[in-house]
């Protein structure tokens, strides 16, 4: 039996993970970490605390969909107790990503901005397309629900990274996010990002490769958070007996 601790149990993804675990063989949610005890899933009996240091029962691993500050606290705790972590939270700064890399020297960490298998396929297609259509202007458009707090989305950034690395450039050198005002003409080689926020959109991502005379669009639409939850739980089962390292969903799916 894999005993899981869910970080962000009271949130949208926490609920999706809880639902996914109910009735799943070989998996049990034994605890939650959340600063808000008011929004736990209905019928949830797992011990839930605001800080991992307060846990009475330590899980076999953590699945984290919360906020960067909560994730980093849990990572520190996981390193001290040698527990694997599946990390789905987005919005980390470059310095915070370094902390994740550092922790993964001591414990196995699966880190993915998007745990949907379809998005993983999309990332691979974007890398191939960006390499073939070297001169195409790439624009990435993402849309999410009104409560999302970071932009561009972690998935949009992962799409940009996939294209940039296929073109042998650093994303930070070519990224243009949120144009406004007197922008001037588009610069060759840049990758543009636009973010839409509204309603209950689960997550739409489009990569537009714009050439003269034609345009190729690669699009993914998530219609339910269950797709992220089941991908994260697949990663949890996979990582439970792995050596310390930083893993991606490609590793989990055996695509690399």
Which residues are marked as active site?
144, 148
> Torsion angle of alpha carbons 5, 121, 131, 166, nearest 10°?
10
Q: Under rule CB under 6 A, which residues in 26-45 are in contact with ligand NAD?
A: 33-36, 39
Closer Cβ to ligand NAD, 131 or 196, answer by number: 196
* Distance of alpha carbon 26 from alpha carbon 157, whole angstroms: 34
Q: How far is the CB of 49 from ligand NAD (least distance, A)?
A: 9
Q: How far is the CB of 234 from ligand NAD (least distance, A)?
A: 12
* Distance of alpha carbon 179 from alpha carbon 251, whole angstroms: 35
In this chain, which stretch among 5-13, 76-84, 134-142, 166-174 interacts with ligand NAD, using CB under 6 A? 5-13
Q: Under rule CB under 6 A, which residues in 156-215 are in contact with ligand NAD?
A: none
What separation, in Å, do the N-terminal and C-terminal C-alpha atoms of the chain show?
28
Tokens 């605390």 found at: 49
Closer Cβ to ligand NAD, 77 or 209, answer by number: 77
For the chain, the 3-state helix, strand and coil shares in percent, each to the nearest 5, are 35, 25, 40
* Distance of alpha carbon 144 from alpha carbon 199, whole angstroms: 8
Can you tell me which of 90, 120, 194, 206 binds ligand NAD, judged by CB under 6 A? 90
Q: Under rule CB under 6 A, which residues in 48-87 are in contact with ligand NAD?
A: 50, 65-67, 69-70
Closer Cβ to ligand NAD, 112 or 191, answer by number: 112
In this chain, which stretch among 21-29, 107-115, 164-172, 185-193 interacts with ligand NAD, using CB under 6 A? 107-115
Closer Cβ to ligand NAD, 209 or 228, answer by number: 228
* Distance of alpha carbon 61 from alpha carbon 29, whole angstroms: 10
Closer Cβ to ligand NAD, 12 or 28, answer by number: 12
Measured at the alpha carbon of residue 23, what is the angle toward residues 20 and 24, in degrees to the nearest 5? 65
Please tell me what DSSP assigns to residue 54: G
- Residue 60 sits at φ, ψ, to 5 deg, of -80, -30
Q: Please report, as ranges, the residues that interact with ligand NAD according to CB under 6 A.
A: 8, 10-14, 33-36, 39, 50, 65-67, 69-70, 88-91, 112-115, 154, 228
């Amino acid at each position: 039996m894999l005993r899981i601790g869910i970080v962000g149990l009271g949130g949208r993804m926490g609920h999706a993970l809880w639902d996914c675990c109910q009735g799943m063989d070989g998996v049990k949610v034994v605890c939650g970490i959340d600063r808000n005890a008011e929004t736990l899933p209905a019928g949830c009996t797992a011990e839930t605390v605001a800080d991992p240091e307060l846990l009475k029962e330590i899980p076999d691993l953590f699945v984290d969909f919360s906020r960067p500050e909560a994730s980093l606290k849990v990572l520190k705790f996981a390193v001290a107790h040698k527990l694997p972590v599946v990390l789905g939270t987005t919005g980390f700064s470059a310095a915070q990503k370094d902390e994740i890399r550092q922790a993964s020297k001591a414990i196995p960490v699966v880190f993915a901005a998007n745990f949907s298998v379809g998005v993983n396929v999309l990332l691979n297609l974007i890398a191939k397309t960006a390499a073939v259509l070297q001169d195409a202007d790439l624009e990435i458009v993402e849309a999410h629900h009104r409560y999302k707090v970071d932009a561009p989305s972690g998935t949009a950034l992962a799409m940009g990274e996939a294209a940039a690395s296929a073109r042998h450039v650093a994303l930070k050198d070519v990224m243009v996010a949120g144009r406004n005002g007197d922008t001037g003409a588009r610069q060759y080689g840049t990758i543009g990002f636009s973010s839409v926020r509204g309603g209950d959109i689960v997550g739409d991502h489009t990569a537009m490769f714009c050439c003269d005379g034609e345009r190729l669009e690669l699009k993914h639409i998530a219609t339910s958070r269950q797709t992220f939850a089941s991908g994260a739980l697949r990663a949890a089962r996979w990582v439970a007996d792995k050596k310390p390292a930083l893993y991606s969903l490609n590793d989990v799916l055996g695509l690399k």
